[in-house]
Each structure stands twice: as C-alpha cells, then as structure tokens.
Structure 1
C-alpha cells in the first residue's frame, strides 16, 4: 500500500546513484558513532572519571550536535545538504580519532565538541538526502537507510569486542575511521544537489514555515526515543561493567544487541510501513521498547540483560525513520527546515537522557536510572497517531 503522501515513480539512474551515495553516508555515520560510543567505559577509565564527571563530559556531544543541526538547516536551505555533508562527515571521523588520542580531559573536550557539531550537521544532512530520495522514489525507503546505519554501528561494536583487549585504545578508534573517510569521499560527489533536493516552489508553505501542531508529536517522540537511545549508548557499557560485573569481551555486547535488533527490524521496516502504516508501526515499537527497558531494570543475569537491551532496539528502531519521513511530508517543498527541527529534538532527548540517567545513577544506581527511559518509551505509544499527518493539498 503506497502512502497517500507519496506518488509512486520510476527512479531514474540519477536517483539510483543518489540512493547508493546516501546509503554510504548513513553507513559511515553509523560506524563513526559506534566507534566512539562503545569506548565510553574505556575513556572513563583512561581519564579517571566518576559517573558524574562522565555525564557532564558526555553532554558536550548532544549540546553541540544541536548547534550543528540548527546550522545545518540554514546552510542546507542555501547550499543544499550535499555541500554540508562533504565537509561535516570527514570532520566526524577526525573527531573520533582525536578523542582516542587525547591524553587528558582538556584535550578530550575540544575533540568531543568537534564531534558534536559535525555529528549534528551530518544527522540533519543525511536525513535531508534520505527524504529527497524517498520523495523521488514515491515510496517508503528511509528504514533502509537507517538499517545500514545500524549494520555499521553493529560492526563498530563487534570490532571493539574483538580487538579491544589486543590493541591500544588509539588504534581501536582510528582504524575504522580510515574506512569512514573513504566512504564519505566516495559518497560526496554523488549526492543530490540543492536543486535536485527541492521541488516546485508553488508547493512551499509561506516563508518555508513549519506547521507547529502536526510536527509537535514528531518532535516529542524523537526526544523520548533519544532519551532511551542516550541511556543505551552512553551507559550500556557502564551498566554491564559495574552492575552486571561483565568482563571486557561481554561489555560491548549489550550495545551490539541493541544495534543488531535495530538492524533486523529495519530490514523489513519499509515493507511493514507500506502495509500497516507508520502510526501502527510506531505504536507497536513504543510498547516493545517499554518492555525492553523493564527487562533492563529487572535483569538478573548478563545474558538476560543483553536480551533486554536487544528488545529496546526492536522497539526504538522504527521511531526515527518515521519521524523524518513524516517531517518530510510537512515540508513538501524540500527546504529541510522540518527535518532540521525534528533532528534538533534528537539532541534534546540525548541531553535529557544523558543528564537524567547519569544523575539518577549517581543518586541511586544504574538499574533505577533505566526506569526513566522506560516511562518515556511508553509515552511514544500515545504519540503514534501523529506519524500519519494530514497534509493540505498545495501546502
């Protein structure tokens, strides 16, 4: 069943080329993000950080990613997301390498600052490209892009699990970034230009403004999703190490399970959305994520904890692609403003999640801390109807 807001089209060779390049951009971003985030526990040990100091340090990334995302909206409106991605994506890889090389906290901070700004710009830009591909293909394809993001995130986590004990931290973080830079250099020239991203100006809303009421549920769901994602990404390794007493090879498996199940769901995500509609898929995802976080809070053993982290991946995996897809429908002229706004709440959620989970863990323990994303995952169920926005003809 084709979405009523997408008109089926036969993709041209140029569309297929841009789609392959967009796949590469998502893949590089997944690899880069996982390479840094799976090293949080090791960075904590290297620099002698307690949980409170680690939480404050980790907040640098989403705060400055929000700056990058907002800047991406204005830059892409003038130059297109292609120009943005060709600069920002190699900067992400450089920041990961610098974070691994940093000998002390004062030098780690600017590396995380660069990572944050560049990640925010890439997140917004790659989803602008993804929505442009979806619009030109005339059918749901965004889950496929996010699926490949998950493939490379999983690969990054498994890389750390396999070589984390045998190589220095600096090498573990730098080697995958060689592939990341190569992928970004391949993709950059083949992405859609600004003229190809945008569509006829007569479809634009006045002044390119984003309608507030229909986009609010998407922003809230994105924020709640990333509270959960921040909890898993920032603290799954700490939870496994400190709460579950896991060894170095088991510690990354919680994040790997999260990314593996995210991948499996996204493999069939586009087909499911076409058949059942985005609202139903997001509603089911919220329920499964709630169950997963409940499992983390109550997990009696390492294997069950890993399974619970996997369940959160099943549930949360569908929310981001459908948020961007729905935002694209609210911006039919393709200005990128709606996508940049929804993407900003990615970092709002990540900031709140990092601060909230870290603060609760400091005051109580890590099990209690994971109850916060449990509640917000349940709230996504109530927001699901907003993922099938009604768009006025010509608006």
Structure 2
C-alpha cells in the first residue's frame, strides 16, 4: 500500500512531466512561425533545429553525473525554470544571432529535465511496485496538447506573447513541485549491488535503439508537422496546429490505458503493436491527399509511438535496481540521438526531394521497432539484471 509520502512524490512528478510537456510544445509548435519570422530556408531551419537535440544530449549526460551525486530533485529545481526562460527568449529573439543562444540554452536545460523527470518517475514506480510510468508520460501529452491548443487559439497575438504566457504557469508548477520530489536518499536502493561503473550496455541496447528510432519519428512530427501542413497541405494558421494536437491527443488516449495494458499483455507485445501502428501512421502521412487525412495520419503516429518511451525507461529502471540512474541516462541519450538524426534526415530529404517523401524515413525506422520489441520482455530484464549483479 503506497504511503502518504509515496503519493506526494507521485503528484510532484505529475507536475514536472506536465510542465515539461507544456514547455516543449510551446516552442516546437512555433517552428513554422519562427521560420517565417526569420526568413529561414529548409536547410537553415534544419541546422537551427539540430541545436536543441545536440545540446540536450550534453544536458542529459551532465544530468546523469549530477544526479548520481546530488539526486534528480535538485537538478529539476534548477533546470526546469531555465527551460521556461529559454522558451520566452526564443519568442523574443529579433534575429537569428539571438535565437541561437536561446535554443542552445533550451537544449541543455530540456535534456537535463528529460533525464531528471524520468529518474523521478522510475523512483516512484519502484516505490509503488507496479507500472505507473505511462501515467506520467500521459500528463506530458496532456500539457503538450494544451500548449498546441493555446497556440491555435492565440494565433492572432504577437509571437512573444503566445510563447510567454504558458511559461508563467510552467515556472509556477515547477516551483510548486520541486520540494515534494523524491530526495536523493529516496531515489536510491541501498540493498542493490549494481554499480554505475559495472553497468553493462548489452541488456539496454534494444531499449536504446528503440528509443532512437522512436525519436526519429517524433522529431519528424514535432519539428516538421507545421511545415508539412502549411507547405504540402496548404493549411491555414488555425488548422496548422491541429496536426500536433491530433498527435498529442492520440498519444494521451493510449497512455491513459497504457499501464493497464502493459500489466495484462506485457511490454514486448505492446511495443510490437505500437511499432506496427506507427508504421501505418507514417505511411498515411506520406500518402495524405488532404488536410483532414493528414491530421488523422499524424494522430495515428501518436497511437503507435506513444508506448515506446515509457516502456524504455521502465525497462531501464528494472535493469538498474540500485537506482543509480545510469541506465535511464543512457537510454535518454538516445532520445537526442534520434532527434538529431530525425531532424537532419527528414530535413535533408525534404530539402532534396520534398517534405512528403521525407516522412518515408521515420516510416522505415518505426517498422524496425517491431523487431526490437522482444528486448522489452520482463523475463529478459530479469535475466540481464541477474547477470549485471554477478
């Protein structure tokens, strides 16, 4: 039975995930507007978008080292408000030379928060003793959708205002949650014998690859859905954000029941089905003849991709019974590897052959997730954990 303190840490983690979803969506939903404001071609836009995942990878690696010494709570209390500040600065930037450092700051901070919030989520899941991580990612999706809906409703307002208003709530939520998160002592499991230095790569490699392929697809949707809707399907300002709303809405719908589905059928089955549905979704994007079917296809990709990240972090947590955060930080690093590859690959293909053809790349990699699904099986996690502790 969860204690009052367990419930408190779970609520605090919900806030952290929600703030991160709101912050991330508030920036990425404005990619098309930032492109138009700064008169960027596809190649230049791709280079700018690469700043975020490259420096997020740096932030994630640094977060792993920081959290191993001081815990993820302090990390989040510092880094999450910085994410909000960076979003506001990106909206205010009058030119590219000032936009670049804002994106750099956003990247480092968002990488640190991504790693830290999943460390908190796994710590709560470990304390509860059942699958709860999907619920946290569900809240991330809810507030990502809120950010996209706000952008649609406030389309007539100045861009700095549209980007700044949600960040007021983001800072408030972060400040509320920070003191209530799991302390460093609560994150660790003193009886476990796995050490950071001895933690093997082999058992988490399928998780890392699946995470990377997932985020190639997520990068394609997050970075280029607005450009696709505007340039390929000729959508207007109020329709453009709806593709991302559909993506986050279906992600939310699946994650609402994700923990129950995983408990019943196991993570490997759920990930395999997710890979198949994501593949069909990207095929729909490539073939979409109109705005409505394009929005439906983006929603279908959300159904498929939504299950992969929570199960990757949950499986990584099972493979790291000491609670060091090493496995989670390594898996999270492939979040940004995928985002880097996704932004470069999709942007490069779009520049050479068109945005519609570019979405064939995440289609292929989504299909590869189906092959990697057995790596999420609980029996394999248990076996490799035993090997790691010998």
Q: TM-score, normalised by structure 1?
A: 0.96
Pair 228,207 (structure 1): closer, same or farther in 2 beyond 3 Å? closer
Report how far residue 210 of structure 1 moved.
2.4
Residue matched to 2:19: 28
User: Is the 8 Å Cα contact of residues 210 and 330 (structure 1) preserved in structure 2?
Assistant: no
1:372-392 per-residue CA deviation (whole Å, 9 max, x = no partner) reads: 000000000000010122344
1:276-325 per-residue CA deviation (whole Å, 9 max, x = no partner) reads: 00000000000000000000000001000000000000000000000000
Report how far residue 207 of structure 1 moved.
4.5
Residue matched to 2:115: 124
Residue matched to 2:376: 387
Q: C-alpha distance in 1, partners of 2:353/2:294?
A: 19
Pair 207,122 (structure 1): closer, same or farther in 2 beyond 3 Å? closer
Q: C-alpha distance in 1, partners of 2:114/2:298?
A: 23
The aligned runs of 1:117-266 (5 Å cut-off) are 117-164=108-155, 166-200=156-190, 202-266=191-255
Q: C-alpha distance in 2, partners of 1:241/1:209?
A: 49
Alignment partner of 1:330 is 2:319: yes
Alignment partner of 1:42 is 2:40: no
Residue matched to 1:6: none
1:349-378 per-residue CA deviation (whole Å, 9 max, x = no partner) reads: 000000000000000001100000000000
Runs of 4+ in 1 over 6 A off after TM superposition: none
Residue matched to 1:341: 330
SS class of match (1:390): helix
Q: C-alpha distance in 2, partners of 1:126/1:85?
A: 7
Q: C-alpha distance in 2, partners of 1:29/1:43?
A: 20
Q: C-alpha distance in 1, partners of 2:172/2:199?
A: 36
User: Is the 8 Å Cα contact of residues 323 and 387 (structure 1) preserved in structure 2?
Assistant: yes
Task: List gaps (5 residues or longer) in structure 2.
Answer: none
Report how far residue 205 of structure 1 moved.
1.7
Report how far residue 211 of structure 1 moved.
1.8
1:202-222 per-residue CA deviation (whole Å, 9 max, x = no partner) reads: 413244432221100000000
Q: TM-score, normalised by structure 2?
A: 0.97
SS class of match (2:123): helix
Of 202-211 and 40-49, deviating more is 202-211
Pair 365,133 (structure 1): closer, same or farther in 2 beyond 3 Å? same
Q: C-alpha distance in 2, partners of 1:54/1:207?
A: 38
Q: C-alpha distance in 1, partners of 2:60/2:198?
A: 17
Residue-pair matches, total: 384
Residue matched to 2:68: 77
User: Is the 8 Å Cα contact of residues 204 and 331 (structure 1) preserved in structure 2?
Assistant: no
Residue in structure 1 matching 2:268, options 279, 285, 289: 279
User: Is the 8 Å Cα contact of residues 86 and 185 (structure 1) preserved in structure 2?
Assistant: yes
User: Is the 8 Å Cα contact of residues 81 and 171 (structure 2) preserved in structure 1?
Assistant: yes
Residue matched to 1:5: none
Q: C-alpha distance in 2, partners of 1:31/1:206?
A: 35
User: Is the 8 Å Cα contact of residues 211 and 330 (structure 1) preserved in structure 2?
Assistant: no
User: Is the 8 Å Cα contact of residues 99 and 112 (structure 1) preserved in structure 2?
Assistant: yes
Alignment partner of 1:356 is 2:348: no
SS class of match (2:204): helix
Task: List gaps (5 residues or longer) in structure 1.
Answer: 1-9
Q: C-alpha distance in 2, partners of 1:226/1:278?
A: 18
Q: C-alpha distance in 2, partners of 1:182/1:65?
A: 23
RMSD: 0.9
Pair 359,319 (structure 1): closer, same or farther in 2 beyond 3 Å? same
Q: C-alpha distance in 1, partners of 2:195/2:150?
A: 48
Q: C-alpha distance in 2, partners of 1:379/1:269?
A: 21
SS class of match (2:216): helix
Alignment partner of 1:99 is 2:67: no
SS class of match (1:334): coil
